[in-house]
Structure 1
Amino acid sequence: MVADILQLQPSQTNDGEDTPRWIKSSDGEFSTASAYDLIVDQQNHMGDWGWIWKLKVPLKLKSFLWLVLHDKLLTNHKRATRGITNDPKCPYYVNIETIEHLLRLCPQALQICGYYGKPEICTRLEAELWAVYKGLTIILQRGFNQVIIEMDAEQVVQLLSKDIGERCPFRGIVEDARITMRGCDCTIQHIRRDANICADAMAKLGEYQPAELLIVQDPPAELRPLLVEDIVHLSMEGSRV
């Protein structure tokens, strides 16, 4: 209801005194029936958002997700609409700063990318190590730093976090990865597999394409249903429980 009031435009004529009018009735007169219809209509469009508050994530992430899904994030476009600022544009580019621009279309946001490729014949552990190393080279090339690498391969996390022996068969790739991690101030940590479903799906895509490494700016169609679940650390099976 507040949003409806904020969208009202003042009259352009100065004839007579201002009089209040109820926009949800044909004659401009308030009625409890029209107010009830307005409330019911809004509730029907809200959907069930209780799942947001049940997520096992920090409260600030829940609040941010609620604002985004309800189109309530205070972008410059909304600030300009409410008279808080005179400039509705993105501070980095000339586009109007809507939620879609802020989170997806802005070149600053597009620096987030994904990659996958077809590995050579090797063990699974070697494939995981090479995946980390190639990701680190992308981080280094793009000038990112202080990146937190999350993996469900606990053995890889241990190899990159702890001292390894002289006889380790993966010593070369491990040392190269560590040097790159130090260069861009990256850290690595272990997470559950059900919190890494999007990365697993990207790895599977690599099995069916010939390129050694493919960098994508937009998520492949196969991944889009998994993105929100991957972000909030929930798997498809877990959400059905």
Structure 2
Amino acid sequence: MNTLGLQQKAPVVILVLLILAMLFTLGLQAYEFFMPGYSESSESAPVKEASTSTTRQQPRPELNVDQYELFGKPIDPNQQQQAVKTEDLPKTNLRLTLRGVSASTKIEQASALIEGPNKETLKYSVNDTLPGNAKLKSVHEKRIVIERNGRLENLYFPEDVNIGIVRNDSNRDSQNRPQSQLQPQAHTQPVRTQPIQVPQIPQNFSRPTTNLDNLSEERKQEIKSRLEKLREKMKQTP
């Protein structure tokens, strides 16, 4: 009887033992899977806190704002004074004509179109040699500065006059200029100018007047209507 009962209960006991063994192995695997990650996170947390504390303690680097030129580059007072002084330089007496300029703050980009004594216009850059043993020193909007024999001179654009009046300052320049700076120029025939004769009005001159009394009424009305029309036109015009 006992042996039969034990044989009947043996499969149930074995099944229970297998289930317990499976649960135990699953628990071990779960413990090995979850617990190491928790330990690594707990160990890395103090390291992060320590790194943040070290970064907070580092001093901020000092930046030199002046080296970036945020508000532009200041102009050297010596250069500014020199630029102002060039405006008061004397005019050159070389037979050169300024035809065009390309002014720029960069010296290598500035240039000028200059016509020489041979009526040939060429482009010259700064420090180029010009006709007459001169050298181009600087280019401005309305003039250029040239150097000749160690002396700076200005060359301006020609003054074009359309009414036929030509200004001749050769006598005044020759008087103010020393003899050493005078150069022989080509002889040209003087142009004879005739004085403008203004007709004189005689003293006994009087404008012809119309006698309104001799006019008819129709003529008077016609003149008045024309005058009124002219006044209206003058009022309408801006």
State TM-score, norm by structure 1. Answer: 0.18
- The structure that is strand-richer by fraction is 2
- Whose radius of gyration is greater, 1 or 2? 2
Higher relative contact order (CA 8 A, sep 6+): 1
Q: TM-score normalised to the size of structure 2?
A: 0.18
